[in-house]
Structure 1
Amino acid sequence: MKLTYHGHACFVVQDGGYSVVIDPFLTGNPLADINPESVHVDAVLLSHGHGDHVGDAEAIARANNALLVAPYEVASYFGKMGVRSHAMAHGGKHTFEFGTVKLTLAFHGSGFEMDNDIRNGGNPSGLLLTMGGKTLYHAGDTALFSDMKLIGDLQRVDVAALPIGDNFTMGPEDALLAAEWVHAGVTVPMHYNTFDLIRQDPQAFIQALEVKGLRGSVLQPGESLTV
Protein backbone atom coordinates (compact mmCIF):
# COMPACT_ATOMS: atom_id res chain seq x y z
CA MET A 1 0.00 0.00 0.00
CA LYS A 2 1.37 3.37 -1.07
CA LEU A 3 -0.06 6.43 0.66
CA THR A 4 0.52 9.90 -0.85
CA TYR A 5 -0.48 13.02 1.07
CA HIS A 6 -1.91 16.06 -0.71
CA GLY A 7 -2.57 18.40 2.21
CA HIS A 8 -5.31 18.75 4.84
CA ALA A 9 -6.98 15.30 4.97
CA CYS A 10 -6.48 14.27 1.34
CA PHE A 11 -4.61 11.08 0.48
CA VAL A 12 -4.26 8.98 -2.64
CA VAL A 13 -3.87 5.30 -1.80
CA GLN A 14 -2.54 2.83 -4.35
CA ASP A 15 -2.06 -0.92 -4.43
CA GLY A 16 -2.25 -3.70 -7.00
CA GLY A 17 -2.99 -1.39 -9.90
CA TYR A 18 -5.88 0.30 -8.10
CA SER A 19 -5.98 3.87 -6.83
CA VAL A 20 -8.41 5.71 -4.55
CA VAL A 21 -8.54 9.25 -3.22
CA ILE A 22 -9.81 10.15 0.25
CA ASP A 23 -11.36 13.55 1.06
CA PRO A 24 -10.11 15.37 -2.09
CA PHE A 25 -10.12 18.98 -0.93
CA LEU A 26 -7.76 20.42 -3.57
CA THR A 27 -9.34 23.54 -5.08
CA GLY A 28 -9.02 26.27 -2.47
CA ASN A 29 -6.61 24.26 -0.35
CA PRO A 30 -3.43 26.32 0.07
CA LEU A 31 -1.42 23.19 0.88
CA ALA A 32 -2.54 21.10 -2.09
CA ASP A 33 0.29 20.19 -4.47
CA ILE A 34 -1.94 18.87 -7.28
CA ASN A 35 -5.12 19.91 -9.07
CA PRO A 36 -8.27 17.81 -9.56
CA GLU A 37 -7.49 17.23 -13.24
CA SER A 38 -4.32 15.34 -12.34
CA VAL A 39 -6.12 12.84 -10.09
CA HIS A 40 -6.72 9.47 -11.76
CA VAL A 41 -8.48 7.03 -9.47
CA ASP A 42 -10.92 4.12 -9.36
CA ALA A 43 -12.83 5.43 -6.35
CA VAL A 44 -13.43 8.53 -4.25
CA LEU A 45 -13.89 7.97 -0.51
CA LEU A 46 -15.47 10.64 1.69
CA SER A 47 -15.45 10.71 5.47
CA HIS A 48 -18.23 13.31 5.78
CA GLY A 49 -20.00 16.19 4.09
CA HIS A 50 -17.96 19.26 5.08
CA GLY A 51 -16.60 21.26 2.18
CA ASP A 52 -12.97 20.87 3.20
CA HIS A 53 -13.37 17.10 2.75
CA VAL A 54 -15.88 16.77 -0.10
CA GLY A 55 -13.87 19.32 -2.04
CA ASP A 56 -13.48 18.20 -5.66
CA ALA A 57 -15.12 14.80 -5.17
CA GLU A 58 -17.82 15.28 -7.80
CA ALA A 59 -15.45 16.57 -10.49
CA ILE A 60 -12.94 13.77 -9.85
CA ALA A 61 -15.61 11.07 -9.79
CA ARG A 62 -17.14 12.28 -13.05
CA ALA A 63 -13.81 12.68 -14.84
CA ASN A 64 -12.73 9.15 -13.92
CA ASN A 65 -16.14 7.45 -13.88
CA ALA A 66 -15.01 6.55 -10.37
CA LEU A 67 -17.23 5.12 -7.67
CA LEU A 68 -17.97 7.55 -4.83
CA VAL A 69 -18.14 5.82 -1.43
CA ALA A 70 -19.49 7.85 1.48
CA PRO A 71 -21.85 7.86 4.46
CA TYR A 72 -25.45 7.31 3.38
CA GLU A 73 -26.71 10.88 3.18
CA VAL A 74 -23.64 12.18 1.34
CA ALA A 75 -23.59 9.27 -1.11
CA SER A 76 -27.33 9.60 -1.71
CA TYR A 77 -26.98 13.27 -2.55
CA PHE A 78 -24.27 12.63 -5.12
CA GLY A 79 -26.19 9.65 -6.48
CA LYS A 80 -29.14 11.94 -7.20
CA MET A 81 -26.71 14.22 -9.02
CA GLY A 82 -25.82 11.36 -11.35
CA VAL A 83 -22.54 10.36 -9.72
CA ARG A 84 -21.98 6.61 -9.40
CA SER A 85 -22.22 6.18 -5.63
CA HIS A 86 -22.17 3.57 -2.89
CA ALA A 87 -23.71 4.44 0.49
CA MET A 88 -22.46 3.03 3.79
CA ALA A 89 -23.04 3.52 7.52
CA HIS A 90 -21.11 3.12 10.77
CA GLY A 91 -19.86 -0.41 11.35
CA GLY A 92 -20.67 -1.47 7.81
CA LYS A 93 -18.03 -3.13 5.65
CA HIS A 94 -18.02 -3.77 1.92
CA THR A 95 -15.50 -5.32 -0.45
CA PHE A 96 -14.97 -3.53 -3.77
CA GLU A 97 -12.64 -4.34 -6.65
CA PHE A 98 -10.00 -2.00 -5.20
CA GLY A 99 -10.24 -3.29 -1.62
CA THR A 100 -12.41 -3.30 1.50
CA VAL A 101 -13.91 -0.26 3.24
CA LYS A 102 -15.38 -0.18 6.74
CA LEU A 103 -16.84 2.96 8.30
CA THR A 104 -15.98 3.78 11.90
CA LEU A 105 -17.39 6.28 14.34
CA ALA A 106 -16.23 9.89 14.29
CA PHE A 107 -17.39 12.70 16.57
CA HIS A 108 -17.84 15.83 14.47
CA GLY A 109 -20.46 17.40 12.17
CA SER A 110 -21.33 16.57 8.58
CA GLY A 111 -23.68 19.23 7.23
CA PHE A 112 -22.66 20.62 3.86
CA GLU A 113 -23.24 24.13 2.61
CA MET A 114 -25.31 24.47 -0.54
CA ASP A 115 -27.48 27.23 -1.97
CA ASN A 116 -26.79 29.45 1.06
CA ASP A 117 -28.08 26.74 3.37
CA ILE A 118 -26.65 23.82 5.33
CA ARG A 119 -27.95 20.41 4.29
CA ASN A 120 -28.00 17.29 6.41
CA GLY A 121 -24.91 15.22 5.72
CA GLY A 122 -25.78 12.46 8.17
CA ASN A 123 -23.14 11.11 10.51
CA PRO A 124 -19.44 11.78 10.01
CA SER A 125 -17.17 8.76 9.88
CA GLY A 126 -13.68 7.44 9.86
CA LEU A 127 -12.54 4.92 7.27
CA LEU A 128 -10.75 1.60 7.48
CA LEU A 129 -9.39 0.93 3.99
CA THR A 130 -7.74 -2.43 3.29
CA MET A 131 -5.83 -2.91 0.05
CA GLY A 132 -3.32 -5.65 -0.68
CA GLY A 133 -3.52 -6.98 2.86
CA LYS A 134 -2.61 -3.62 4.45
CA THR A 135 -5.03 -1.44 6.40
CA LEU A 136 -5.22 2.34 6.67
CA TYR A 137 -7.28 3.98 9.41
CA HIS A 138 -8.25 7.46 8.20
CA ALA A 139 -9.93 8.96 11.25
CA GLY A 140 -11.71 11.73 9.36
CA ASP A 141 -12.51 14.77 11.48
CA THR A 142 -13.06 13.64 15.03
CA ALA A 143 -12.63 14.20 18.72
CA LEU A 144 -10.90 11.58 20.79
CA PHE A 145 -13.29 8.79 21.83
CA SER A 146 -12.64 5.67 23.86
CA ASP A 147 -13.91 3.23 21.22
CA MET A 148 -10.78 4.01 19.22
CA LYS A 149 -9.29 1.26 21.39
CA LEU A 150 -11.55 -1.23 19.60
CA ILE A 151 -10.27 -0.12 16.20
CA GLY A 152 -6.78 -1.24 17.16
CA ASP A 153 -7.99 -4.33 19.02
CA LEU A 154 -10.24 -5.73 16.29
CA GLN A 155 -7.77 -5.55 13.40
CA ARG A 156 -4.18 -4.75 12.64
CA VAL A 157 -3.79 -1.14 11.52
CA ASP A 158 -0.68 -0.63 9.41
CA VAL A 159 -0.99 3.15 9.13
CA ALA A 160 -3.23 5.64 10.94
CA ALA A 161 -3.93 9.15 9.63
CA LEU A 162 -5.02 11.23 12.62
CA PRO A 163 -6.11 14.89 12.76
CA ILE A 164 -3.99 17.06 15.07
CA GLY A 165 -5.19 20.57 14.21
CA ASP A 166 -7.34 21.19 17.32
CA ASN A 167 -10.29 23.63 17.39
CA PHE A 168 -12.38 21.58 14.89
CA THR A 169 -10.88 18.17 15.74
CA MET A 170 -8.73 16.67 18.45
CA GLY A 171 -5.41 18.38 19.00
CA PRO A 172 -1.95 16.85 19.39
CA GLU A 173 -2.42 15.74 23.01
CA ASP A 174 -5.61 13.82 22.28
CA ALA A 175 -4.21 12.53 18.99
CA LEU A 176 -1.26 11.11 20.92
CA LEU A 177 -3.64 9.11 23.09
CA ALA A 178 -5.56 8.01 19.99
CA ALA A 179 -2.30 6.77 18.46
CA GLU A 180 -1.59 4.75 21.61
CA TRP A 181 -5.03 3.17 21.49
CA VAL A 182 -4.99 2.37 17.76
CA HIS A 183 -1.33 1.24 17.96
CA ALA A 184 -0.78 1.41 14.21
CA GLY A 185 2.49 0.47 12.58
CA VAL A 186 3.00 4.14 11.75
CA THR A 187 0.94 7.26 12.52
CA VAL A 188 0.68 10.15 10.05
CA PRO A 189 -0.66 13.53 11.24
CA MET A 190 -3.23 15.32 9.07
CA HIS A 191 -5.73 18.19 9.17
CA TYR A 192 -3.28 20.85 10.37
CA ASN A 193 -1.69 24.09 9.09
CA THR A 194 -4.22 24.53 6.28
CA PHE A 195 -5.61 27.56 8.11
CA ASP A 196 -4.34 29.63 11.04
CA LEU A 197 -6.95 28.15 13.39
CA ILE A 198 -5.42 24.69 13.04
CA ARG A 199 -1.73 25.59 13.05
CA GLN A 200 0.41 22.95 14.78
CA ASP A 201 3.97 21.62 14.86
CA PRO A 202 3.83 18.12 13.34
CA GLN A 203 7.43 17.33 14.26
CA ALA A 204 6.63 17.93 17.92
CA PHE A 205 3.79 15.43 17.56
CA ILE A 206 6.17 12.86 16.05
CA GLN A 207 8.62 13.40 18.90
CA ALA A 208 5.82 12.83 21.42
CA LEU A 209 4.95 9.59 19.62
CA GLU A 210 8.55 8.44 19.82
CA VAL A 211 8.64 9.08 23.56
CA LYS A 212 5.73 6.62 23.81
CA GLY A 213 7.60 4.08 21.68
CA LEU A 214 5.39 4.71 18.65
CA ARG A 215 6.48 5.34 15.08
CA GLY A 216 5.29 8.45 13.27
CA SER A 217 5.94 10.10 9.94
CA VAL A 218 5.27 13.64 8.73
CA LEU A 219 4.35 13.71 5.05
CA GLN A 220 4.70 16.97 3.17
CA PRO A 221 2.20 17.44 0.34
CA GLY A 222 3.31 15.20 -2.51
CA GLU A 223 5.32 12.86 -0.29
CA SER A 224 4.52 9.16 -0.01
CA LEU A 225 4.77 6.35 2.49
CA THR A 226 4.74 2.65 1.57
CA VAL A 227 3.69 0.03 4.11
Structure 2
Amino acid sequence: MKVTFFAHSTCMLKIHDKYLLIDPFFSENPVFRNTNFLKKFQNIDYILLTHAHYDHVCDVELFSRKFDNVLVISNYEISNYFGKKGIKTYGMNYGSFISFPFGKLKYIWATHSSVFNDGTYGGNPGGFLLHTDEGNLYISGDTSVMYEMSLIPYFGKLKLSILPIGGRYTMDIEEAILASDLLKSEKILGVHYDTFEDIRINKKQAKKRFFEKGKELILLEKEKTIYVK
Protein backbone atom coordinates (compact mmCIF):
# COMPACT_ATOMS: atom_id res chain seq x y z
CA MET A 1 0.00 0.00 0.00
CA LYS A 2 1.34 3.39 -1.04
CA VAL A 3 0.47 6.42 1.10
CA THR A 4 1.16 9.92 -0.27
CA PHE A 5 0.78 12.97 1.97
CA PHE A 6 -0.15 16.31 0.39
CA ALA A 7 -0.87 18.72 3.24
CA HIS A 8 -3.11 19.11 6.28
CA SER A 9 -5.13 15.85 6.36
CA THR A 10 -5.14 15.16 2.62
CA CYS A 11 -3.58 11.85 1.61
CA MET A 12 -3.75 9.46 -1.32
CA LEU A 13 -3.79 5.70 -0.87
CA LYS A 14 -2.83 3.35 -3.70
CA ILE A 15 -4.01 -0.19 -3.06
CA HIS A 16 -3.16 -2.42 -6.02
CA ASP A 17 -4.64 -0.45 -8.96
CA LYS A 18 -7.13 1.61 -6.92
CA TYR A 19 -6.58 5.22 -5.87
CA LEU A 20 -8.30 6.58 -2.75
CA LEU A 21 -8.13 10.32 -2.01
CA ILE A 22 -8.70 11.27 1.64
CA ASP A 23 -10.27 14.61 2.65
CA PRO A 24 -9.26 16.77 -0.37
CA PHE A 25 -8.18 20.25 0.72
CA PHE A 26 -6.21 22.08 -1.98
CA SER A 27 -7.93 25.17 -3.42
CA GLU A 28 -8.35 26.91 -0.05
CA ASN A 29 -5.19 25.46 1.47
CA PRO A 30 -2.40 28.06 1.85
CA VAL A 31 0.16 25.40 0.98
CA PHE A 32 -1.36 24.90 -2.51
CA ARG A 33 -2.77 28.33 -3.28
CA ASN A 34 -2.23 29.55 -6.86
CA THR A 35 -1.10 26.17 -8.15
CA ASN A 36 -2.89 23.89 -10.61
CA PHE A 37 -3.13 20.94 -8.25
CA LEU A 38 -5.58 18.99 -10.44
CA LYS A 39 -2.78 18.31 -12.93
CA LYS A 40 -1.04 16.25 -10.28
CA PHE A 41 -3.67 13.50 -10.53
CA GLN A 42 -4.11 11.04 -13.39
CA ASN A 43 -6.67 8.84 -11.71
CA ILE A 44 -8.89 8.77 -8.62
CA ASP A 45 -11.35 5.96 -7.98
CA TYR A 46 -12.67 6.90 -4.53
CA ILE A 47 -12.84 9.93 -2.27
CA LEU A 48 -13.13 9.23 1.47
CA LEU A 49 -14.50 12.02 3.64
CA THR A 50 -14.25 11.93 7.43
CA HIS A 51 -16.49 14.93 8.16
CA ALA A 52 -17.98 18.06 6.59
CA HIS A 53 -15.58 20.86 7.60
CA TYR A 54 -14.31 22.86 4.61
CA ASP A 55 -10.68 21.86 5.21
CA HIS A 56 -11.69 18.27 4.45
CA VAL A 57 -14.32 18.57 1.70
CA CYS A 58 -13.79 21.83 -0.21
CA ASP A 59 -12.53 20.19 -3.42
CA VAL A 60 -14.86 17.22 -3.73
CA GLU A 61 -16.81 18.82 -6.57
CA LEU A 62 -13.66 19.77 -8.48
CA PHE A 63 -12.36 16.21 -8.40
CA SER A 64 -15.74 14.70 -9.22
CA ARG A 65 -15.93 16.86 -12.35
CA LYS A 66 -12.48 15.74 -13.50
CA PHE A 67 -12.99 12.06 -12.67
CA ASP A 68 -16.53 11.13 -13.76
CA ASN A 69 -16.54 7.68 -12.17
CA VAL A 70 -15.20 8.67 -8.75
CA LEU A 71 -17.23 7.35 -5.82
CA VAL A 72 -17.48 9.50 -2.69
CA ILE A 73 -17.66 7.43 0.50
CA SER A 74 -18.70 9.07 3.74
CA ASN A 75 -21.42 9.12 6.34
CA TYR A 76 -25.09 9.20 5.36
CA GLU A 77 -25.53 12.98 5.63
CA ILE A 78 -22.39 13.95 3.72
CA SER A 79 -23.18 11.39 1.01
CA ASN A 80 -26.69 12.80 0.63
CA TYR A 81 -25.30 16.36 0.45
CA PHE A 82 -23.03 15.55 -2.48
CA GLY A 83 -25.50 13.12 -4.03
CA LYS A 84 -27.94 16.00 -4.50
CA LYS A 85 -25.23 17.72 -6.57
CA GLY A 86 -25.15 14.77 -8.96
CA ILE A 87 -22.02 13.16 -7.49
CA LYS A 88 -21.92 9.38 -7.08
CA THR A 89 -21.82 8.55 -3.38
CA TYR A 90 -21.92 5.65 -0.97
CA GLY A 91 -23.33 6.48 2.44
CA MET A 92 -22.51 4.58 5.61
CA ASN A 93 -22.52 5.07 9.36
CA TYR A 94 -20.98 3.53 12.45
CA GLY A 95 -21.52 -0.15 11.79
CA SER A 96 -20.12 -3.18 10.03
CA PHE A 97 -17.27 -3.52 7.58
CA ILE A 98 -18.33 -3.03 3.97
CA SER A 99 -16.47 -4.68 1.10
CA PHE A 100 -15.07 -2.67 -1.80
CA PRO A 101 -12.66 -3.69 -4.59
CA PHE A 102 -9.74 -2.30 -2.54
CA GLY A 103 -10.63 -4.06 0.73
CA LYS A 104 -13.02 -3.78 3.66
CA LEU A 105 -13.97 -0.39 5.06
CA LYS A 106 -15.57 0.52 8.38
CA TYR A 107 -16.73 4.01 9.38
CA ILE A 108 -15.34 4.52 12.86
CA TRP A 109 -16.03 6.88 15.76
CA ALA A 110 -14.53 10.35 16.16
CA THR A 111 -14.99 13.03 18.81
CA HIS A 112 -15.34 16.25 16.86
CA SER A 113 -18.03 18.25 14.99
CA SER A 114 -19.25 18.21 11.40
CA VAL A 115 -20.96 21.01 9.45
CA PHE A 116 -20.63 22.40 5.92
CA ASN A 117 -19.72 26.04 5.35
CA ASP A 118 -23.29 26.76 4.27
CA GLY A 119 -24.55 25.56 7.67
CA THR A 120 -25.81 22.16 6.49
CA TYR A 121 -25.47 19.48 9.14
CA GLY A 122 -22.70 17.03 8.26
CA GLY A 123 -23.77 14.07 10.38
CA ASN A 124 -21.57 12.26 12.87
CA PRO A 125 -17.84 12.92 12.39
CA GLY A 126 -15.77 9.82 11.90
CA GLY A 127 -12.73 8.07 10.58
CA PHE A 128 -12.10 4.91 8.58
CA LEU A 129 -10.73 1.51 9.48
CA LEU A 130 -9.40 -0.08 6.32
CA HIS A 131 -8.52 -3.77 6.07
CA THR A 132 -6.70 -4.92 2.92
CA ASP A 133 -4.47 -7.78 1.84
CA GLU A 134 -1.63 -5.23 1.99
CA GLY A 135 -2.24 -4.45 5.67
CA ASN A 136 -4.66 -2.63 7.96
CA LEU A 137 -4.82 1.15 8.21
CA TYR A 138 -6.67 3.47 10.59
CA ILE A 139 -7.57 6.99 9.44
CA SER A 140 -8.86 8.74 12.55
CA GLY A 141 -10.16 11.96 11.01
CA ASP A 142 -10.27 15.00 13.28
CA THR A 143 -10.72 13.76 16.82
CA SER A 144 -9.68 13.97 20.41
CA VAL A 145 -8.33 10.88 22.07
CA MET A 146 -11.19 8.60 23.14
CA TYR A 147 -11.38 5.33 24.96
CA GLU A 148 -13.30 3.72 22.07
CA MET A 149 -9.96 3.59 20.25
CA SER A 150 -9.09 0.62 22.44
CA LEU A 151 -11.71 -1.44 20.55
CA ILE A 152 -10.02 -0.99 17.18
CA PRO A 153 -7.21 -3.54 17.73
CA TYR A 154 -9.85 -6.23 18.29
CA PHE A 155 -10.69 -6.02 14.59
CA GLY A 156 -7.08 -6.68 13.56
CA LYS A 157 -3.52 -5.43 14.01
CA LEU A 158 -2.73 -2.05 12.48
CA LYS A 159 0.29 -1.45 10.27
CA LEU A 160 -0.22 2.31 10.27
CA SER A 161 -2.42 4.88 12.01
CA ILE A 162 -3.03 8.34 10.54
CA LEU A 163 -3.62 10.69 13.47
CA PRO A 164 -4.01 14.48 13.85
CA ILE A 165 -1.35 16.04 16.08
CA GLY A 166 -1.76 19.82 15.79
CA GLY A 167 -3.82 20.39 18.93
CA ARG A 168 -6.55 22.99 19.57
CA TYR A 169 -9.13 21.39 17.24
CA THR A 170 -7.83 17.81 17.53
CA MET A 171 -5.38 15.77 19.55
CA ASP A 172 -1.99 17.22 20.33
CA ILE A 173 1.25 15.27 20.52
CA GLU A 174 0.75 13.82 24.00
CA GLU A 175 -2.85 12.82 23.29
CA ALA A 176 -1.82 11.19 20.01
CA ILE A 177 0.77 9.14 21.91
CA LEU A 178 -1.97 8.01 24.28
CA ALA A 179 -4.18 7.20 21.29
CA SER A 180 -1.41 5.10 19.76
CA ASP A 181 -1.23 3.12 23.02
CA LEU A 182 -4.98 2.44 22.91
CA LEU A 183 -4.70 1.47 19.25
CA LYS A 184 -1.63 -0.73 19.90
CA SER A 185 -0.13 1.06 16.93
CA GLU A 186 3.62 1.53 16.69
CA LYS A 187 3.80 3.52 13.45
CA ILE A 188 1.92 6.82 13.15
CA LEU A 189 1.61 9.23 10.25
CA GLY A 190 0.98 12.68 11.71
CA VAL A 191 -1.48 15.01 9.97
CA HIS A 192 -3.49 18.18 10.65
CA TYR A 193 -0.57 20.33 11.78
CA ASP A 194 1.36 23.41 10.56
CA THR A 195 -1.25 24.39 7.94
CA PHE A 196 -2.32 27.37 10.05
CA GLU A 197 -0.59 29.30 12.79
CA ASP A 198 -2.79 27.93 15.58
CA ILE A 199 -1.83 24.31 14.86
CA ARG A 200 1.92 24.70 14.45
CA ILE A 201 4.11 22.15 16.21
CA ASN A 202 7.77 21.55 16.98
CA LYS A 203 8.38 18.63 14.63
CA LYS A 204 11.72 17.64 16.11
CA GLN A 205 10.26 17.56 19.62
CA ALA A 206 7.19 15.66 18.43
CA LYS A 207 9.28 12.89 16.88
CA LYS A 208 11.42 12.73 20.02
CA ARG A 209 8.36 12.30 22.28
CA PHE A 210 7.02 9.43 20.17
CA PHE A 211 10.47 7.80 20.06
CA GLU A 212 10.72 7.98 23.84
CA LYS A 213 7.49 5.97 24.01
CA GLY A 214 8.74 3.32 21.61
CA LYS A 215 6.77 4.68 18.65
CA GLU A 216 7.65 6.02 15.21
CA LEU A 217 6.08 9.32 14.21
CA ILE A 218 6.29 9.91 10.46
CA LEU A 219 6.05 13.53 9.30
CA LEU A 220 6.13 13.75 5.52
CA GLU A 221 6.93 16.74 3.38
CA LYS A 222 4.39 17.79 0.76
CA GLU A 223 3.76 15.08 -1.88
CA LYS A 224 6.14 12.59 -0.26
CA THR A 225 5.28 8.90 -0.01
CA ILE A 226 5.66 5.94 2.30
CA TYR A 227 4.91 2.26 1.69
CA VAL A 228 2.98 0.13 4.16
CA LYS A 229 4.25 -3.44 4.04
Q: TM-score range by the shorter chain?
A: over 0.9
- Tell me the residue number matched to 1:43: 46
Amino acid at match of 1:12: M
Deviations 1:126-157 (A, max 9, x none): 11123333121111000110111111233111
- Tell me the residue number matched to 1:9: 9
Taking the TM superposition and a 5 Å limit, the aligned residue runs for 1:168-187 are 168-187=169-188
**Which sections of structure 1, spanning at least 5 residues, go unmatched?**
none
Q: Structure 2 CA distance, aligned partners of 1:206 and 1:34?
A: 32
Shift of 1:12: 0.2
**Count of equivalent residues:** 224
Deviations 1:68-117 (A, max 9, x none): 00111000111111100000101332111222211110011101112xxx
- Give the 3-state SS of the residue equivalent to 1:203 in structure 2: helix
- Tell me the residue number matched to 1:108: 112
Alpha-carbon RMSD: 1.5
Amino acid at match of 1:219: L
Shift of 1:37: 4.1
- Tell me the residue number matched to 1:28: 28
Q: Structure 2 CA distance, aligned partners of 1:61 and 1:80?
A: 13
- Tell me the residue number matched to 1:198: 199
- Tell me the residue number matched to 1:60: 63
Judge which range, 176-185 or 99-108, deviates more: 176-185
Taking the TM superposition and a 5 Å limit, the aligned residue runs for 1:213-224 are 213-224=214-225
Q: Does 1:90 align with 2:90?
A: no
Q: Does 1:133 align with 2:128?
A: no
Shift of 1:34: 7.0
**Which sections of structure 2, spanning at least 5 residues, go unmatched?**
none
Q: Structure 2 CA distance, aligned partners of 1:172 and 1:23?
A: 21
- Give the 3-state SS of the residue equivalent to 1:193 in structure 2: coil
User: Cα distance 1:129–1:202, how it changes in 2: closer, same or farther (>3 A)?
Assistant: farther
Q: Contact 1:6–1:31 at 8 Å: present in 2 too?
A: no
- Tell me the residue number matched to 2:143: 142
Judge which range, 128-137 or 14-23, deviates more: 128-137
User: Cα distance 1:3–1:198, how it changes in 2: closer, same or farther (>3 A)?
Assistant: same
Q: Does 1:124 align with 2:135?
A: no
Quick one: percent identity of the two aligned structures?
Answer: 33
Q: TM-score, normalised by structure 1?
A: 0.93
Q: Contact 2:15–2:134 at 8 Å: present in 1 too?
A: no
Q: Structure 2 CA distance, aligned partners of 1:52 and 1:66?
A: 20
- Give the 3-state SS of the residue equivalent to 1:174 in structure 2: helix
- Give the 3-state SS of the residue equivalent to 2:217 in structure 1: coil
User: Cα distance 1:8–1:58, how it changes in 2: closer, same or farther (>3 A)?
Assistant: same
Deviations 1:30-53 (A, max 9, x none): 234871343321100000001000
Q: Structure 2 CA distance, aligned partners of 1:36 and 1:19?
A: 15
